[in-house]
Amino acid sequence: MIVVNFKTYREATGYRAINLARVCRKVQEDTKIRVVAVPQLADLRNCVETGVDCWVQHLDPVEQGKNTGWVTVEDVEEAGARGTLLNHSEHKLEMLTLEKTMQLIGEMAFEACICAGSAQEAEVVASFKPDFIAYEPPELIASETQSVASARPDIIEEVVKKVGYPVLIGAGVKSVEDVRVGVKLGAKGVLLASHVVLAEDPEQVLRELARGFKN
Ligand code: G3P
């Protein structure tokens, strides 16, 4: 699977987010590789309406009721989100906060992908029983020269072995080879942003990356 984090990139905001969501759906339909779009909240419903699977970039540990300015799992689920990233290196959470958020998701049919910047952190967050763990060394995010696959194959292998949950890998992912190496090391997919979101032709880039899952 390929998870495309739209982040707060201008190139993935508003109508551009909808266009990118359409690209994600089309590539999934044609390649049969699951592609998840992760837009900003204000673009969520419009992206859901393109038919693509959507996750949100973050959830808050608050219940429905007397709270102002927070994001609840019930609200984003009702808007069509299928899941969420949590603890991304660009939106780190205290472990207690992460635990409370996972408790609020509870038994809902709602996917939780917890991000971890190291094998040690991956082992800690595995205790919250997520659907996916995304291993992303922060220092390689948006790198133009390296990727998690080329620079940290040993850590990928260690995370896959240790956590006992489906692992996504991210940070600098930009080539079919990055995907192939990740799959070979036991990852279920990749979590990426800049290489697709900032591409001249995101569809062509996404199709190319999807080839990495075909043997
Ligand atoms: O959430 C994925 C993101 O942090 C990876 O960023 O630009 O290195 O693909 P990028």
**Is 136 part of the annotated catalytic residue set?**
yes
State the catalytic residue, choosing from 11, 58, 63, 88. 88
* In the chain, % of residues over pLDDT 90: 99
Yes or no: say if 36 and 54 are a contact pair by the CB < 8 Å rule: yes
The tens digit of pLDDT for each residue in 108-131 reads: 999 999 999 999 999 999 999 999
What integer pLDDT is reported at residue 174 of this predicted model?
97
Beta carbon of 87 within 6 Å of any ligand 1 atom: no
Among candidates 138, 132, 137, 133, which has minimal Cα distance to 155?
A: 137
Beta carbon of 20 within 6 Å of any ligand 1 atom: no
Among candidates 163, 157, 158, 168, which has minimal Cα distance to 193?
A: 168
Ligand 1 centre to CA of 66 (Å) is 34
Please state the atom number of ligand 1 nearest to the C-alpha of residue 192. 9
Beta carbon of 142 within 6 Å of any ligand 1 atom: yes
Ligand 1 centre to CA of 197 (Å) is 10
**Is 157 part of the annotated catalytic residue set?**
no
Mean pLDDT of all residues belonging to the chain? 97
Tell me the mean pLDDT in the region 124-147: 97
Read off the pLDDT band of 215 (50, 70, 90).
Answer: confident
- Taking CA atoms, 162 is separated from 97, 122, 128, 134, 171, in Å, by 23, 8, 14, 13, 20
Beta carbon of 195 within 6 Å of any ligand 1 atom: yes
Ligand 1 centre to CA of 191 (Å) is 7
Read off the pLDDT band of 143 (50, 70, 90).
Answer: very high
What integer pLDDT is reported at residue 123 of this predicted model?
98
Tell me the mean pLDDT in the region 9-17: 98
Ligand 1 centre to CA of 194 (Å) is 6
pTM score of the predicted model? 0.98
The tens digit of pLDDT for each residue in 53-105 reads: 999 999 999 999 999 999 999 999 999 999 999 999 999 999 999 999 999 99
